[in-house]
Amino acid sequence: MANFFRTTVSKDIGTTPVDLVAGAASRFTLIGCNLANTTDDDVIVSVTVIDAGAIEGYYIKELVIAPYTSAKIVTNGEKIILAENCTLRIVSDTAASVDAIISYAEII
């Protein structure tokens, strides 16, 4: 089994959900996730995990992020494990309002 440390950056996440960490043949361990509000107003962000059976559940539901601030949703040594065919999805209530930086280990 090979392990690769990776970073994913996604800018201007808005009202269309964005799948950031996904893979059919890989497993992922999320070790950091930062969401930054890039607007002049509060934004409301939700983060869901979709499992291999296409069941979607909230990891964070309707988190309010103040203007020009950020929220770390994976902290203090916490980790999120995504098995094969699982996906991390992020959506905001405001168009082009959130930048996301995710650090993870990919296990192939």
Question: Tens-of-pLDDT digits for all 108 residues of the chain?
Answer: 788 999 999 999 999 999 998 877 889 999 999 999 999 999 999 999 999 999 999 999 999 999 999 999 998 888 999 999 999 999 999 999 999 999 999 987
pTM (two decimals): 0.91
Measure CA of the first residue to CA of the last residue in the chain; give whole Å: 6
Q: How far apart are CA 18 and CA 20, in angstroms?
A: 6
Q: Is 39 exposed, middle or buried (0-12, 13-18, 19+ CB in 10 A)?
A: middle
31: containing domain: 3-107
Domain count along the chain = 1
